[in-house]
Amino acid sequence: MEKSPRLKRGKIRTKLIIRLIFVALIPLILLVVFSWRNTYRTRINSVSELETTTILQAESAIKKWINERFLGFRIKLTTPSTAPPIILSSEAAKSKEEVLLVDVLKVILRDILQNDENLEEASFISLEGEMQMKILKGDIETELETEDFTKTEGFIKGSEGQSFFGKIFFEEKIPKTILFSPVLDPQDKTIAVFKGKVNLTSFQEILEDIEIGRTGYLYLVDRDGNIIAHSQKSELIGENVKEIEGVKKVLRGESRRGLEKEDRYIGVCGEKVIGATLPVFNFGIITEWPEKEALEIVRLILNSTLRFALLTLVAITSIAFLFAQGVARPIREIQEGSKIIGKGNFDYRIKVKTNDEIEELAENFNEMTKDLKEVQRLRDVEIKSKALAKSLAKERELSEVKDTFIKTAAHQLRTPASAIKLAIEFLSEKRKEFSSEIQEFLDDALSGTKDLANIVNDLVAVSEFGFGRYKLENPKPIDIVKVTEDIIDKYKFEIKEKKLNFQFQKPPEILQCQSTLRAMRFITQNLIDNAVCYTKKGGKIILSIRKVKNFIEFKIEDTGIGIPDSEKKLIFSECFRASNAIEQKNVGTGLGLYLTKNIIEAHNGKIWFESEKEKGSTFYFTLPVIKKV
């Protein structure tokens, strides 16, 4: 037998769980990705904004300082308008006024050096480019620089009335620069150039005041990429950091806002940072904010989003599991049920209550099981009826064989039995011619042949009337009185011999019934035979036939042995003989009354009797009379 493909246990459930989780997973992944992207972008924007603001703040502070301290730096002499013009030159210095002027300038330089903490040395250069005076901090006059300043950019600017500061250099890691600035007379005419060495430690102070988060910092580099100031790590001052990405950019003059991918690099403190840059004068300002802090919020949000997604996933998985379980369980019940039903248990019913198609499916299954049970029942019935039909046919066949045998045997026996009977009767009529011994033999033989004839007659009758229920075939009107007379005639010899008082009370009219001669002869003979047989010598038999309403009533009354009460109910049974009858006559088939009843009932008649043991019996039967037209 081919096996139906079986669902693997839990396969539907697993599929459902996987699909549900998959369906839930997509929005969760999207949620995480979008939330991360949005947070990241927003944060990068705010980081950029903060860095830009900070850088601008630093720029404005630095610019302010430079403007105040460098670009706006002027030395202006105020003398009465009547005074002669101040000429500062080596030649002119020889005059008295000039000597006075040199003294004034000395005072001014000393004063500036004293009051300006950033200024470390100060000098005057004549318009001819010759240094005239140089004082160090602490009022120390020092040797004059002998170089010709006329070609120096700072001197040229200064002599043109502008301030100028030069390249930044470091002395013991302190950033410094040289400032050139014009020295003006009261008419704003440049009369000399001021040269000062200025330390730039103020930049450090400016930057230290500016903060970006906890770990963000700002620094200032010169044109060579050396750190001039650093808001958090002053020890880095003087370091060359031109390899740092932000520094490279600012040296190229780029101003960046920290928004691009390239703005994320390893900063001067060795951490990955988000950097922004701004070139200012000869410097570059750079802010660097370590990603770790700057993007911490992104990481936190991402973490909590991931945690939320994970929790949601766990919740969805549990729900999916319960849901899948709920869907798969009834299916499994149907599957299990189908296996039980498949094994032939058609009384099994699948119990599924889901109020949906699955419940409908289970109901259909149950309906199908009912049908299968009915089909099986019909098949069983068919098998049984076939077997029964077979055995009935067999029985019928056997019965037919038996009937045929009895019929054939009975008919075959009749001829020799009659021949023997005739011969013995013939010899009996001449009995006086034989010895007394032979006479005795003849008497026995006569009685035996009579019995034999009776048995053969019964057998013939059985074959004719007794098999199954007798059916009257081809009936015709039969004169019952005539038939009775013929039978009585047959018993004349016996009646005479037993000295019986036999009376026949005939009806006044001819009474006919629809029957056959064979049937009528059989029933009348049987009753007359019994009466004659079971009535002792000298007894009385009264036979009467009369019409009672629409029936012919046949009544035969004798003074015979009667029938014991206890055996009365068996009288019409097949092969029954009462105990007293057996004592009286040991030969008999017990079929006569059984067949008589069978025949009478086939005529729509009735048979009954009254009897008293040792006193006599009366047998009655009625048959429908044919009405005279």
Of 404 and 579, CB closest to ligand ADP: 579
Q: Which is nearer to ligand ADP, 286 or 581 (CB)?
A: 581
- Contact region with ligand ADP (CB under 6 A), list: 253-261, 317-325, 465-473, 585-593: 585-593
User: Whose Cβ is closer to ligand ADP: residue 449's or residue 617's?
Assistant: 617
| Cα distance between residue 216 and residue 230, in whole Å | 11
The yes or no reply on residue 593 touching ligand ADP (CB under 6 A) is yes
491: which DSSP letter? T
Please report whether residue 288 would count as binding ligand ADP according to CB under 6 A. Answer: no
Q: Please check whether residue 521 is in contact with residue 501, taking contact to mean a CB–CB distance below 8 angstroms.
A: no
Least CB distance to ligand ADP at residue 618 (A): 8
Q: How far is CA 157 from CA 66, 71, 118, 162, 237, in A?
A: 16, 11, 21, 5, 29
Indicate the length of the chain as a whole number: 629
State the nearest-atom distance from the C-beta of 465 to ligand ADP, in Å: 13
Show the tokens assigned to 88.
């500062």
Q: How far, in Å, CA of 539 to CA of 498, rounded?
A: 8
Question: What type of residue is 444?
Answer: D
> How near is the Cβ of 385 to ligand ADP at its closest, in Å?
38
Binding to ligand ADP by residue 560, rule CB under 6 A?
yes
Task: Kindly state whether residue 588 participates in binding ligand ADP, applying the rule CB under 6 A.
Answer: yes
Residue from the set 129, 225, 590, 624 that interacts with ligand ADP by CB under 6 A: 590
Cα→Cα distances 603→162, 591, 593, 623, Å: 164, 19, 15, 7
Residue 577, interface with ligand ADP (CB under 6 A)? yes
Return d(Cα 158, Cα 164) in angstroms, integer.
7
Residue 57 sits in the site that holds ligand ADP (CB under 6 A): no
Nearer to ligand ADP, 101 or 488 (CB): 488
Q: Of the candidates 580, 487, 574, 566, which has an alpha carbon nearest to the alpha carbon of residue 536?
A: 580
Determine the Cα–Cα distance for residues 103 and 97; give it in Å rounded to an integer: 10
> Among 135, 578, 600, 623, which residue sits at the site for ligand ADP (rule: CB under 6 A)?
578
| CA gap 593, 235 in Å, rounded | 149
Count of residues interacting with ligand ADP (CB under 6 A): 20
Select from 134-142, 246-254, 402-410, 527-535 the region that touches ligand ADP (CB under 6 A): 527-535
571: contact with ligand ADP by CB under 6 A: yes
290 near ligand ADP, rule: CB under 6 A = no
Q: Which is nearer to ligand ADP, 439 or 589 (CB)?
A: 589
Point out which span in 306-314, 361-369, 425-433, 584-592 binds ligand ADP (CB under 6 A): 584-592
Closest distance of CB 619 from ligand ADP, Å: 6
Q: Are 591 and 464 in contact (CB under 8 A)?
A: no
User: At its nearest, how many Å lie between ligand ADP and the CB of residue 452?
Assistant: 13
285 binds ligand ADP (CB under 6 A): no
Q: Could you tell me which of 246, 306, 296 has the C-alpha nearest to residue 276?
A: 246
C-alpha span between 405 and 397 (Å, rounded) = 12
- The closest alpha carbon to 560, from 536, 527, 581, belongs to 536
Reduced to 3 states, what is the DSSP secondary structure of residue 390? helix
Least distance from ligand ADP to the Cβ atom of residue 558, Å: 5
Site for ligand ADP in 530-559 (CB under 6 A): 530-531, 534, 558
Where on the phi/psi map is residue 512: left (φ > 0), alpha (ψ -120 to 50), or beta? beta
Residue 461 sits in the site that holds ligand ADP (CB under 6 A): no
Contact flag: residue 581 with ligand ADP (CB under 6 A) = yes
Q: How far is the CB of 579 from ligand ADP (least distance, A)?
A: 8
DSSP 8-state code for residue 70: I
| Cα–Cα distance, 60 to 52 (Å, whole number) | 12
Q: Tell me: does residue 168 bind ligand ADP (CB under 6 A).
A: no
* Maximum Cα–Cα distance across the chain: 231
**The one-letter amino acid at 206:** I
List the one residue from 543, 561, 600, 626 that touches ligand ADP (CB under 6 A): 561
For the chain, the straight-line distance linking the first and the last C-alpha, in angstroms and rounded, comes to: 78
Nearer to ligand ADP, 553 or 558 (CB): 558
Pair 219, 227: CB distance under 8 Å: yes
Decide whether 17 or 581 has the Cβ nearer to ligand ADP: 581
Examine residue 526 and tell whether it contacts ligand ADP (CB under 6 A): yes
Q: Which stretch binds ligand ADP (CB under 6 A): 252-260, 308-316, 319-327, 591-599?
A: 591-599
Q: Which stretch binds ligand ADP (CB under 6 A): 193-201, 231-239, 420-428, 571-579?
A: 571-579
State how far the Cα of 350 lies from the Cα of 268, in Å rounded to an integer.
77
Interface ranges with ligand ADP (CB under 6 A): 526, 530-531, 534, 558, 560-563, 571, 577-578, 581, 588-593, 617
